[in-house]
Amino acid sequence: MSLSNNNEKMSIGRFISETVASPTRIPFVVVIAVILIFQLMNPTFLSYQGLVTLVYSMSYFLIAACGLTFVVMMGSFDFSSISVMKFSALLCVLYIDDFGLWIIPITLLCCAIIGFVSGFLVAKLGVPSFMATLGISIVVDGISLLMSKGFLHLMEHEGFRSISTTFIAGIPSVFHWSIAIWVLCAVLAATTPFGRRTYAIGGNARAAVLSGINLDSQRIQVFMLSGLLAGAAGVFYMSQLGGGSVEIGGQMMIPLFASVVAGGTSLRGGTGGPQNTLLGVIIITWIQSGLRMMGTGMETQMVILGLIAIGMSIATTDRNKFRRVIVK
């Protein structure tokens, strides 16, 4: 009896040590832990109503995170995602009366152009992506404020709202949209020359150049994709919530980065991918919603999310590689 018990302990011990050693397994384990912990603390977490809340909170976030993942894979940063998302949401609500549903392609185009500007600054003018996109985010925030004058605007166009809020198979359609976009992104990253080139630049930019990759054009394209997807996230956000002001999305940029990193896309570039980002998004947004469902205050949420962001980057960093660099 004691022997078998001992064996079991051994295998659990081995499971833990293997999990810690392989960063790819950690996100799965954390997702399960998050579900278990919140379910224990709050039995309505996995109820139908709870699930709908979780789905709403993660869907638009997943779309923006997929876009950001491409930039991070390439070894760059995009700090403008949330600002672009906000801008896109406000553009929709302010001009839907003038353009009807045509506002959607117009908005997406505008957001892709913002991405193009970031990419141009990074690729052609050599501005570090950190600075370029941070600058762009402030500019875009200013424009959003100018457009909305700080008021709360309500979306009254039923057709627009139904994009996200139609229930299909018991789940709001925004989930189906976001999963479809996620699959497209994963396919783009893993099975196309575009994806391969993005990984290449993140892995070894000089080798990428000597392998005949047009570095500038590829970088601009990736920033445009990030802008486009951030814009799409804004469209879905507005159609799901039905209103918003310049305040939306407040402190979301860091959780967005955290979800990309938590999935296993290293900020050093060249690894991970959108396929991993789904789990990261689930971890970050479900913790956030779980806390909110239990009525945890905003300040506590911020502390916990910040710690989770740091914890997940510790957990998903391949430290063997790091050590190798130091020792030799």
Partner 1 sequence: MTERTLTPILDVRNVCKSFGKVYALEDVSLKIFPSEIVGVVGENGAGKTTLMKSLVGIHVPEKGEWYDKGVKAAFPKDPKDAAKKGISIVYQERGVVPSLQVYQFLFLGNEEKYVGAFGLQIPRMKKAAQEIIDEFHIKCDIEDFMFELPLSTQKMVEIARAVVNIRLEQNKQDADSVIILDEPTAPLNIEERHELLNEIVRLKANCSFVFVTHIMQEVMEYMDRVIVLRDGRQVGEYDMATNKVTENELVRMILGKDIDGQEKIQRIPSRVDNSETVLSSKELSKRGSYYNISFDLSKGECLGVLGSAGSGKSELIETIAGINGYDEGDLLIRGKSTKNHELPYARLKKGVGYFSGEIANELFYDWPITKNISILNIEKIVTKIFHFLNFKTEKTLAADISKQLRIKTPNVNITVSSLSGGNKQKVTVGKWLEKKPDILLLEDPTIGIDVGAREDIYETILNMKEQGISMILVSDDPKEYSALCDRVLMMQQGKAQKIISKEELKEVLQT
Q: Which residues bind partner 1 (CB under 8 A)?
A: 191-193, 196-197, 200, 203-204, 206-216, 270-271, 327-328
Give the shortest CB-187-to-partner 1 separation in angstroms.
8
| Nearest alpha carbon to residue 276 among 76, 57, 70, 35 | 70
**Rounded CA gap, 2 and 326, in Å?**
43
State both tokens at 269: 């570039």
Q: Are 68 and 272 in contact (CB under 8 A)?
A: no
Give the shortest CB-322-to-partner 1 separation in angstroms.
13
Give the shortest CB-313-to-partner 1 separation in angstroms.
18
Q: Are 68 and 83 in contact (CB under 8 A)?
A: no
Mapped onto helix, strand or coil, the DSSP state of residue 171 is strand
Nearer to partner 1, 9 or 324 (CB): 324
Give the shortest CB-144-to-partner 1 separation in angstroms.
37
Task: Give the end-to-end CA distance of the chain in Å, rounded to a whole number.
Answer: 48
Give the shortest CB-288-to-partner 1 separation in angstroms.
32
Alpha carbons within 13 angstroms on the beta-carbon side of residue 84 total 38
| Nearest alpha carbon to residue 67 among 118, 22, 105, 26 | 118
